[in-house]
Every structure is written in structure tokens, then in C-alpha cells.
Chain A
Amino acid sequence: MGSFLRRYAQPYLFIAPAAVVMLLVVLYPFIYNFIIAFSNMSLYHLRNPEFVGLQHFRTIFTEPEIVSVFAKTVIWTVVNVAAHLFLGVGLAILLNQEVKGRGIFRALLILPWAMPQYITALTWRGMFNYQYGAVNLMLRALHLPAVPWQANEYWALAAPIIANIWLGFPFMMIIALGGLQSIPKELYEAAEIDGAGWWFRLRKITLPLLKPVLVPATVLGTIWTFNNLNVIWLVSHYGEPADKTHILVTYVYKAAFHYYRYGYAAAFSVVIFILLLSFVVYFLKATGEKGAAG
């Protein structure tokens, strides 16, 4: 043991600061969350929580809103990620061509990403105001009916989705642009001489060769969107109308920090964690197998 310490003391000393920080801010809260998930910790039992077993998990799965919140989470995630991919890849393909003022377009399109999320979210909330918001003013100017963005259950979910699409596509665009630039142009020239049209080249060359960068980006994008609290929380103003605009994480956040149901919220977090973990494992396996087969 003594010789081992002497031999490896230095490298372990070097990684120690980073390791300590990781333990404190990642591992400790993660484990602590598991512990309180099985306790009745709340505002009443803050100092003297008791073990309650699976009680919270039973409550979660019998909650009347659970299905609707879960469905909204899936809609929120799928619509956002699909729109991010579609817009991001599409714009990247446009930007990858010789366009005049390409630098300006590129800068403008990255702008949404460069701004702090909560400022963007609050700005969008203002723009969705029924009477004075920019969106409805524009709709009126076009002689279209104004939309009750904050009063109707469905429009209230659509509003944060629109805001989040605007916020999120630049990330996909940058990733796709990087991927596109690594595709040698001779591949397109060879295909062009072979007679392949635009659509054929997109399907048979561009998309398959973008896959290696788009798969991890989609996984990341899905996790970020699934767990994106800021946008939906702020644009819907804490879940209005009447707590109808919730996804799983905003629901958990409200339970923990508005209703102080710490044990319940921790148990809910465990459920979310398991959901995401299963998704990632399944998705990587599915796309990986396909990739190997050609």
C-alpha cells in the first residue's frame, strides 16, 4: 500500500480537486435525491423525515393529471426536437452553399442561441399577450383572429413550444453545418456526374453522412428539451392556465418549490431519470444497429 501510494500519489493529487467538486455537485445530490424519494420530507417534516417506502411512487402513478402531463411532455419533446432537426438541418444545407452574405445570415441565425434563455422566454411571454402582444398584433394586421395564447389549454402549450423552437434550432444548425462541411465535395460531384438529382443526393449522401453527428445531437437535444424548465415555466407563467401547461419537470418543480413536497418531488425525479435513461439506451442501440447494417 505504501509503495502504491508513493507511486500514484501525484496523479491522484492532480485529479483530486475536480473529483471533489464532481462528488459534491453531482454524486452527492444524486444519491441524496434517491434517499429523500423514499421519505416523507416536506415543509412539516423538514428536520424529521421518516421512511415511507414506495408510498410516493404509488401516489405518482395514481395522480389524475399524470397521463395528461406525461402526454404533454411527449408532445413538447417530440415537436421541439423534430422542429429543431428539420429547421437546423434545412438551414445548415442552405448556409453550406455559396450564398452572398453567408456570414451575416450565419450570425443572425445563431443569435437566438446567444441570448440568455430566461430573457428570451420572458420576451416571448410578452409577445404572446392577448391584447398587446406582438404576435396577436401581427395576426390582427393580417385580418386573422387573435389567439388566446395564455387562456386556452392547448394554445398555452403551443406558445412555449414556438418559443423553444426559436431558441433551440441554432444548436442543431451548427452541429449539422459542421457535419456538412466534413463531407468531401467530390462525393456530390461524382453523384452529379452519375446523374443524381438534388433529392437523390440529399437522401443517399447528405443524410446518411450526417447521421454520425445528428444521432448524438438528437440524444442531447431530447434530454435537454425533456428537462427544459425555463422556457415552458416562464412563458406559461408557472403552468397557467390553472396548472394545465405542465411537463414532467415543471410539475416536479412546482411540487417541490411551490408546495414544498420534497419527498414526492424527489420520487418524481427518480421516475423522470429512469424514463430518460431507458430512452437513451434504447435510442443509441436502435440507431447504432442500423448504422452498422449500412
Chain B
Amino acid sequence: MAGVHLKGIVKRYGKGDPVLKGIDLDVEESEFMVLVGPSGCGKSTILRVVSGLEEIDSGEIRIGERVVNDAPPRERDIAMVFQNYALYPHLKVYDNIAFGLRVRKTPKEEIDTLVREAAELLNLGSMLDKLPKELSGGERQRVALGRAIVRKPKAFLFDEPLSNLDAKLRVQMRAEISALHQRLKITTLYVTHDQVEAMTMGERITVLESGEIQQTDVPMGLYERPANRFVGTFIGSPPMNILDARLDGGRLAVGECIFSAGVPDELRNRADSRGFLLGIRPEHLEVHDRPEGLRATIDLIEPMGGESNIYLSTGAGRVVATMPGIAVRKRSDEVFLRFDPAAAHFFDSRSGVRLGEGSVPGRSG
């Protein structure tokens, strides 16, 4: 086992803009690191350069103590799990799992022990004689996992491994992969576009956009202190509400509504009354009938069972609020919104960079 360390990685395809614009990332030994971002953000490219399937234009890739910039994939001693599983269709499950060991000329008896061990761990014992086409999606994914773990590599690379599974199976495999990591403690780089997957699986998460790292932190760190507007809206479902805000006589103002809530000193110190952005998570918005706070009209209610998502229009833009239980209100109802200022986030309106969070406790109004 070993950590994976990236320093200033730049990768360019052809003559256009680089896909990776200087990535610095340290995945510690035994860590489960999730790379998350929208499609085209470069997360899969990071896996491909770590695996050696793609060469980098500049920077340094270190696996354990060794700089592997110029090493071919086979010398890097990593294993990769692909989105479409990449099982060999003409080989039985046993031979699929044994493939990497045979390439490395492992003795036959040892291969047999290792393959059966891996099959046991992944509950594949009864399927060793089947061809991939005879397996379900979840079983195929487990075979792909088996092929990765059987070699006992220095690190695992997962490239959106659950995207091809249906929702229920995805939740189940999520738990299985997490449990597997708990057991084997192999350094893992896991790529996904699904922030729920990222939040539930990652020990730490790196959020990427257009080839740049936006933030690396533990899941709740990202959720509670997003470094910028992008991270704020990307992590969390439904996404964080972003509203134009300004200071009015030192107080926070959104639309026609002036709150008595405190704003961070940094914000207050900005002499100009230039606008900024207020970020507030749906579960921190309270919908009520008393005429205090921001006036809003209900557009749509999504009952989720345990909670309801309420989509509303306000003078400052559209927002979504999450309320526990089944909403008693209905479409077109006039309501008012308030929030705990301590739960608010503030971002620069141009750069999107975090300016601080609401800190002064007190009721909105």
C-alpha cells in the first residue's frame, strides 16, 4: 500500500485548453478519496494519468516513494475498475479474476488460492464457472472488483463504477465497496459525478471543475464550509439556494426584505456596498405564514416521503426549501421564508469565492 501524490499535473489533448490545469492532490496511505465533479471536469483524466493510460504534459505523479511519470501502467502496481466493468466476455469469472495474476506469471496453486479467496470475499463462489454474459449487472461489478483486489495492488482506481447499475443496486454496491475498503484498507481514488455517492463513501472528497480542484475536505467540511459557490451548489441535494444580497445600513438585505441578521466582519468591512451572494441550504429555509422574512409563492411541491421539497418564487429569485413530513400547503399559496443566519453562506458575486458564514446568532426579520 502507498499514498498517491500529484504535484502540478497538467494534461492537454491536442492544442486546446488543458484538461488538467495544475492538479495538486495528496491521497494518503489507506485513504478513500473521492473525486467528484460534473462531466468534463477532468476527474476521469486524473485516474487515467495516475494509471499510466495517459501521459502528463508536466508535473509529478508519485505512488508511494516512487515517481512514476514515465513508468508504463504495469509497473505502477495499481488496479482499475471501469464504468462498463471491462470484463473479458470470452473468459469465465474465474479466468477474468485470474487474468492479472497469469500475466504476472504467478504460480498456478497460488492463483487458485487467491482467486478463491477473492471470490469468497465478494460472494462470487458459485459463479466462478459462468461467463460474464450470464451474470447480472451487480454480479459483473463484483467480478470487476474481484479482478482488482486479487492482485493486492498499491492503490485502487475506480472510474464511475456504479453508473451502469439501477438505483437500488447502486445503494447496495456503495455499501459493499465501503465495507471492502474498511476491510482491506487499500488506498483508493474513486471518481463519480454523483455527489450522494461522494458524500456517503469518501473519507475525503475533492471537488473538481474545468480541470481545477475547487476544494478538498472531509464530507461535512465541504457541506458546512464550501470554498466557493460552485462547491456550495454542487454538494447537497436539492442544491443550495443562491440569492443576490447586499448590505443596507449594515444589515443583510435580500430583495425587498431587510434582515436583522449579522453578516461576517469581512463583509461588513467592505466599504462599498457592492452586492454579494447569499447561499442557504434548502433544509435551513423555514416556510411559514407570519408576514416576516422574504415573501414567496409556492410553484411546486415534491413529496419525498419523509420530507417534501417546496419550490418557491421570491422577489430575489427562485428557491427550494425542504420541510420534514408531508407539506400541508399547496401550489400558489403565499408564504414567507426565514432562516437561521448562522446557517447562511456568503460568496463574492463575481469570483464566487467564499466570504464567510453568518455568525451572529439572532432571529431573522
The answer to the question of B275 belonging to the interface, with a C-beta cut-off of 8 Å to chain A, is: no
- Give the number of chain A interface residues (Cβ < 8 Å): 19
CA distance A184 to B99 in the complex (A): 17
Shortest B51–chain A CB gap in Å is 6
Contacts of A65 in B (CB 8 A): none
Contact residues of A between 151 and 195, Cβ < 8 Å to B: 184, 186-187, 189-195
Q: How many B residues touch the partner, as a band?
A: 20 to 34
Contacts of B95 in A (CB 8 A): 294
Q: Are B103 and A200 in contact (CB under 8 A)?
A: yes
The answer to the question of B5 belonging to the interface, with a C-beta cut-off of 8 Å to chain A, is: no
The answer to the question of B88 belonging to the interface, with a C-beta cut-off of 8 Å to chain A, is: yes
The answer to the question of A280 belonging to the interface, with a C-beta cut-off of 8 Å to chain B, is: no
Contacts of A194 in B (CB 8 A): 74, 79, 99-100, 103-104, 147, 151
CA distance A191 to B103 in the complex (A): 9
The answer to the question of A208 belonging to the interface, with a C-beta cut-off of 8 Å to chain B, is: yes
**Residue in contact with B73 in the complex, picked from A193, A205, A211, CB distance below 8 Å:** A193
Shortest A294–chain B CB gap in Å is 6
Shortest A135–chain B CB gap in Å is 43
Q: Are A192 and B74 in contact (CB under 8 A)?
A: yes
The answer to the question of A209 belonging to the interface, with a C-beta cut-off of 8 Å to chain B, is: yes
B77: nearest chain-A partner, CB-CB: A195
The answer to the question of B84 belonging to the interface, with a C-beta cut-off of 8 Å to chain A, is: yes
The answer to the question of A16 belonging to the interface, with a C-beta cut-off of 8 Å to chain B, is: no
Contacts of A191 in B (CB 8 A): 99, 103
Q: Are B100 and A192 in contact (CB under 8 A)?
A: no
The answer to the question of A67 belonging to the interface, with a C-beta cut-off of 8 Å to chain B, is: no
Given known A-B contacts A193-B79, A195-B104, A200-B103, A205 and B88 have beta carbons under 8 A apart: yes
**Residue in contact with A193 in the complex, picked from B53, B84, B89, B90, CB distance below 8 Å:** B53
**Residue in contact with B100 in the complex, picked from A186, A189, A195, A209, CB distance below 8 Å:** A195
User: B201-228 toward A: CB 8 Å interface, digit per residue (1/0)?
Assistant: 0000000000000000000000000000
Shortest A293–chain B CB gap in Å is 11
CA distance A209 to B88 in the complex (A): 9
The answer to the question of A22 belonging to the interface, with a C-beta cut-off of 8 Å to chain B, is: no
Q: Are A208 and B90 in contact (CB under 8 A)?
A: yes
User: A198-233 toward B: CB 8 Å interface, digit per residue (1/0)?
Assistant: 001000110011010000000000000000000000
The answer to the question of B169 belonging to the interface, with a C-beta cut-off of 8 Å to chain A, is: no
Q: Are A192 and B73 in contact (CB under 8 A)?
A: yes
Contacts of A190 in B (CB 8 A): 80, 82, 86, 147
The answer to the question of B301 belonging to the interface, with a C-beta cut-off of 8 Å to chain A, is: no
Contacts of A111 in B (CB 8 A): none
Q: Are B84 and A195 in contact (CB under 8 A)?
A: no
Q: Are B88 and A193 in contact (CB under 8 A)?
A: no
**Residues of chain A at the chain B interface (Cβ within 8 Å):** 184, 186-187, 189-197, 200, 204-205, 208-209, 211, 294
